[in-house]
Amino acid sequence: MKMAANLVEEITSKVAALPSEQQREVLQMVESLLQRAASGSNGRPRRSLKGDLAHLGSSVTDKDIQEARREMWRGYMGEDFNE
């Protein structure tokens, strides 16, 4: 962890050398980076999977989902599995 401590010290000394207005800008940038890290985002807004597949022109109904579940669980639950 010694390397990380040196990096923090280097950043701290460089920020300290800046005028106060630029220090505020650095603080805003760091806060923005922390928010992105906390949200798991890489800076781009999340896109909906539904939106990504909209160009295919298909839709999934409740009946489709029930059928897929029956097919998926049939081997595990036995042939007479129904919802």
Give 19-53 as a 3 state SS string.
CHHHHHHHHHHHHHHHHHHHHCCCCCCCCCHHHHC
Cα 64–chain centre separation: 28
Q: According to the model, what pLDDT value does residue 60 have?
A: 79
Identify which has the larger pLDDT, 18 or 55.
18
Average pLDDT over residues 61-66: 89
Q: According to the model, what pLDDT value does residue 51 have?
A: 72
Q: Is the pLDDT assigned to residue 1 strictly greater than 50?
A: no
pLDDT tens per residue, range 33-57: 888 888 776 656 666 766 777 777 7
- The Cα-based distances of 67 to 9, 15, 40, 81 in angstroms read 60, 60, 34, 11
pTM over 0.95: no
